[in-house]
Chains A and B, each alone.
Chain A
């Protein structure tokens, strides 16, 4: 591999690496706007100009590739700094400088580079700024708004729609200083990945209708998380202010979602605002008719779990006890829920899933990844101990579509937000046929309202855990903020409940459970919570397909046979 020297730091890079990437490897930042690792190189922002020994002119770092040994590059010489100053001046003369009302302020490429490479005064004092009257707030599609005045014509968005989304709605129109971005006549930027153009826009020209004017970005707390929209498990950054999730942004993971995520995924945090929260454990008082018509009493966790423990003990031998899991549970929660079923001596456990439209994320040098199940962790939950039994047990289908609940002495649902079914009156009615209905959940959903015991557990922003995605990759995410009221993480609550059966289960944490589960389940062998890579790890599942292309081939051969 050729060696390149950048600012006296020598680094070995793959032949064909461009200087911007090589510099990152050498620990040097070359400022750039139009260059993006997944988009074609156009070399037009001219911000990445560098001095290369033996070249008379400055060269664009993005379009210069390291092909052979001995290239000596400098970014800290006066001519480069002068050129960067010049470019920053050019960018800013026609930029509105409306940072105080701009959503991008705080994460803006112009602000950052202006601070680092620009000058603090303007020589553009007598001329009028170029503006695009009437093009200050153009909705390009349902989710993206364009303010042309702020645009620096880097054409990242245009190249994204052409090269990644493959839909090509955006174009570069007009010439020279009047050049502008827009949709082609009759087209709208409505592809499933549309909001990615907002992420890659280095300035505030493209803003997301979901996040527009919602929050100043410097007030946002950010935590690495996983999208729960579908089984792809896109890596995201959860950005919230004091527990109020403001937006999801894709987090780079070349194995899963690369730099992208879909618009549907970005909207999934809205569910946490749509349904009121359950914040207090509730137990229905004695003496009611048992049909959901007696008043609830606020309870304490201790009383509620004692009651539940008592019911589970009493029900043993009296009738069926069913455990309805959810594909939104983390592996650890599913594992403990499975253990709870074991402790209650029940074979009835299942993970209901909704299958919906396929969400597809294009990836670099890999086939696109596709998710059809509308929940993140069906695979993980089943692996961890919630797989339905041998056909004689009550399955999710029996409970949700059939009359299975009527046979149940006790039905435990964890969590209540297991899918669309949790909100339809028919399903709620079917589940309510159980003699005693226990619901764990973050939402005060219709199901929680008719339950005999409703226990508040945290949603995925409020807990640590792991999900297993469509390609059997286990990925960890972090708690972004504490749960409200008396809400507890499900791992904690289930551990507490299990300890009533066996004291050894007291004081559980996701890390502890994961390590235990990894020791027990062959699929997770060799993994441990602490060392789980940031990009996740592929599970050893017999017959598992880690790539969707293989899956498709398999499906095709099955269909033909």
Chain B
């Protein structure tokens, strides 16, 4: 593979980029300057043309999302940057915020210009104290440097940006749950429609974008949509992408690749499997993505290919598992997470995730029965598509893939009346 020059992570390893001056040295805020000279609609068109898709999980076209914001000045408009990165296995936004906060601020400012929003909230996960502090400092710098405030870079465009810290709930990463939390209410999703683009934060039209999505925007502005489109597999999967790789690999971490890199290349890039043990399964897109088997190793890691393989790219948090992993135990741990993080509002998610956890735990403890797999699938089908927000759909992904791809392992648990895997911590030799 040709050497890929990092785009989003170009300032990682340059501590001076944390300051406004240092960031500007490397071409910082040129994208914003360029955007301010363009008409807002032209900015939206450029982003649309680039094919940038949301990096938060759903993969919705960012430019299209911006174009849904109603024109007109009767209501204030908001941009909320979703920095509530809580999907298990995902740690890409944290890197962007801790190493290159100005890149995010620039992206936010361009988006605000494009949709004429005068206020931007960066809703950051409560646990990310360091990133929040760095962002706060960068915001202060940006205000002092004339980037934000009453006249953005001297253009007369008024923009205020705030860091809003969450209190630690997965559900506040769901866009409407985040809006509720931002408004000071209990963080639980709203019924849609109306969508946030029409009725969002404080009843006003609101754009909600992931950190990585917005971090891409300055580069599209500077280098153009055509450059962006050239990276990636095809028309629908464009641009650079951060992959957070964890699990049984030699060097876990966040890696930047053009979108559509194969899983095999990625695995090689991080030093291969831990201690050279064989690959058993991997989760391509965070806890809510269905698990893929080792035979999918050559899959291209882009939105459409992964979806075709029956999983989803999601937040591109790749969790790698070797042959010492008990799949039932892993999935039961994931089910526990979703049960713990369900907001308790809607019935299928509240009751269903709880039941899934109890059942998987029972199977893991060797108390499963023959019909359990079928009941698991049936519960999943009752949750799937029927819940209020996407958490229900997320919770069933791993379970369905467990039954589909690893049925023999469930059977073994039931037959042996115990877990066939020794329960040891994975980093022991």
Contact residue among B171, B342, B385 (Cβ-Cβ distance under 8 Å from A57): B385
Footprint of A on B, CB under 8 Å?
169, 171, 186, 191, 339-355, 358-359, 362, 367, 369, 375, 378-379, 381-382, 385-388
CA distance A31 to B378 in the complex (A): 22
Contact residue among A44, A47, A85, A93 (Cβ-Cβ distance under 8 Å from B345): A44
Contact between chains at A90 and B343 (CB < 8 Å): no
Chain B residues whose CB sits within 8 angstroms of the CB of A83 once the complex forms: 382, 386
Contact between chains at A176 and B386 (CB < 8 Å): no
Number of A residues with CB within 8 Å of any CB on chain B: 38
CA distance A128 to B367 in the complex (A): 14
Known A42-B191, A126-B369, A153-B350; contact A178-B388, beta-carbon cutoff 8 A: no
Chain A residues whose CB sits within 8 angstroms of the CB of B381 once the complex forms: 82, 86
Task: Tell me if A94 counts as interface (CB < 8 A to partner B).
Answer: yes
Chain B residues whose CB sits within 8 angstroms of the CB of A87 once the complex forms: 347-348, 382, 386
A156 to chain B, nearest CB (A): 13
The 7 closest A-B pairs by CB, nearest first: A179-B344, A86-B382, A177-B354, A90-B351, A176-B342, A43-B191, A127-B358
Contact between chains at A86 and B386 (CB < 8 Å): yes
Chain A residues whose CB sits within 8 angstroms of the CB of B382 once the complex forms: 82-83, 85-87, 89-90
Contact between chains at A47 and B343 (CB < 8 Å): no
B161 to chain A, nearest CB (A): 30
Chain B residues whose CB sits within 8 angstroms of the CB of A155 once the complex forms: 345
Contact between chains at A152 and B191 (CB < 8 Å): no
Chain A residues whose CB sits within 8 angstroms of the CB of B186 once the complex forms: 172
What are 13 pairs between A and B in contact, CB < 8 Å?
A46-B346, A86-B381, A90-B348, A91-B347, A94-B354, A123-B378, A127-B355, A130-B354, A176-B341, A176-B343, A177-B344, A179-B343, A179-B344
Q: Please encode chain A, from 140 to 157, with 1 for each CB lying within 8 Å of some chain B CB and 0 for all others.
A: 000000000000110100
Task: Tell me if A165 counts as interface (CB < 8 A to partner B).
Answer: no
The listed residue with most A CB atoms (<10 A of its CB), out of B186, B385, B386, is: B386
Known A45-B346, A83-B382; contact A94-B191, beta-carbon cutoff 8 A: no
Known A49-B386, A127-B362; contact A172-B351, beta-carbon cutoff 8 A: no
Task: Tell me if A124 counts as interface (CB < 8 A to partner B).
Answer: yes
Known A42-B191, A57-B385, A83-B382; contact A176-B346, beta-carbon cutoff 8 A: no
Chain A residues whose CB sits within 8 angstroms of the CB of B354 once the complex forms: 94, 130, 176-177
Considering the complex, give the chain B residue whose CB is closest to the CB of A83: B386
Known A176-B342, A177-B354; contact A123-B375, beta-carbon cutoff 8 A: yes
**Additional A-B contact list (9), CB under 8 Å, known A44-B345, A94-B354, A124-B355:** A82-B381, A86-B386, A90-B351, A93-B355, A94-B351, A128-B358, A175-B342, A176-B344, A179-B343
Considering the complex, give the chain A residue whose CB is closest to the CB of B367: A126
CA distance A87 to B362 in the complex (A): 23
Considering the complex, give the chain B residue whose CB is closest to the CB of A91: B347
Considering the complex, give the chain A residue whose CB is closest to the CB of B171: A175
Chain B residues whose CB sits within 8 angstroms of the CB of A26 once the complex forms: none
Contact between chains at B191 and A60 (CB < 8 Å): yes
Contact between chains at A91 and B351 (CB < 8 Å): yes
Contact between chains at A58 and B351 (CB < 8 Å): no
Task: Tell me if A174 counts as interface (CB < 8 A to partner B).
Answer: yes
Task: Tell me if A41 counts as interface (CB < 8 A to partner B).
Answer: yes
Chain A residues whose CB sits within 8 angstroms of the CB of B385 once the complex forms: 57-58
How many A-B contacts if CB must be within 8 Å? 107
A419 to chain B, nearest CB (A): 47
Task: Tell me if A535 counts as interface (CB < 8 A to partner B).
Answer: no
Task: Tell me if A183 counts as interface (CB < 8 A to partner B).
Answer: no
SS class, residues of chain B in contact with chain A: helix
B389 to chain A, nearest CB (A): 10
Task: Tell me if A63 counts as interface (CB < 8 A to partner B).
Answer: yes
Q: Please encode chain A, from 173 to 206, with 1 for each CB lying within 8 Å of some chain B CB and 0 for all others.
A: 0111111000000000000000000000000000
The listed residue with most B CB atoms (<10 A of its CB), out of A87, A172, A176, A178, is: A176
Contact between chains at A152 and B169 (CB < 8 Å): no
Contact between chains at A46 and B388 (CB < 8 Å): yes
CA distance A42 to B345 in the complex (A): 9
The listed residue with most A CB atoms (<10 A of its CB), out of B348, B350, B352, B379, is: B350
A185 to chain B, nearest CB (A): 15
CA distance A41 to B378 in the complex (A): 28
Contact residue among B191, B340, B359, B367 (Cβ-Cβ distance under 8 Å from A176): B340
B96 to chain A, nearest CB (A): 28
Contact between chains at A177 and B347 (CB < 8 Å): no
Chain A residues whose CB sits within 8 angstroms of the CB of B352 once the complex forms: 90
Contact between chains at A47 and B347 (CB < 8 Å): yes
CA distance A128 to B358 in the complex (A): 9
Considering the complex, give the chain A residue whose CB is closest to the CB of B193: A63
Contact between chains at B191 and A63 (CB < 8 Å): yes
Contact between chains at A43 and B350 (CB < 8 Å): no
CA distance A91 to B347 in the complex (A): 7
Chain B residues whose CB sits within 8 angstroms of the CB of A174 once the complex forms: 344
Considering the complex, give the chain B residue whose CB is closest to the CB of A49: B386
Chain A residues whose CB sits within 8 angstroms of the CB of B345 once the complex forms: 42, 44, 153, 155, 179
Known A58-B385, A176-B342; contact A127-B359, beta-carbon cutoff 8 A: yes
A71 to chain B, nearest CB (A): 14
CA distance A58 to B347 in the complex (A): 15
Contact between chains at A175 and B340 (CB < 8 Å): yes
Contact between chains at A46 and B342 (CB < 8 Å): no
Q: Please encode chain A, from 313 to 355, with 1 for each CB lying within 8 Å of some chain B CB and 0 for all others.
A: 0000000000000000000000000000000000000000000
Contact between chains at B344 and A175 (CB < 8 Å): yes
B414 to chain A, nearest CB (A): 12
Contact between chains at B386 and A126 (CB < 8 Å): no
A64 to chain B, nearest CB (A): 9
B182 to chain A, nearest CB (A): 18
Chain B residues whose CB sits within 8 angstroms of the CB of A85 once the complex forms: 382
Chain A residues whose CB sits within 8 angstroms of the CB of B343 once the complex forms: 175-176, 179
Considering the complex, give the chain A residue whose CB is closest to the CB of B349: A176
CA distance A174 to B369 in the complex (A): 32
B417 to chain A, nearest CB (A): 14
Q: Please encode chain A, from 196 to 229, with 1 for each CB lying within 8 Å of some chain B CB and 0 for all others.
A: 0000000000000000000000000000000000
Chain B residues whose CB sits within 8 angstroms of the CB of A82 once the complex forms: 381-382
Chain A residues whose CB sits within 8 angstroms of the CB of B378 once the complex forms: 86, 123
CA distance A282 to B351 in the complex (A): 65
CA distance A359 to B4 in the complex (A): 75
Chain B residues whose CB sits within 8 angstroms of the CB of A153 once the complex forms: 344-345, 347, 350
Chain B residues whose CB sits within 8 angstroms of the CB of A172 once the complex forms: 186, 344
Known A93-B355, A94-B351, A176-B350; contact A44-B388, beta-carbon cutoff 8 A: yes
Contact between chains at B350 and A177 (CB < 8 Å): yes
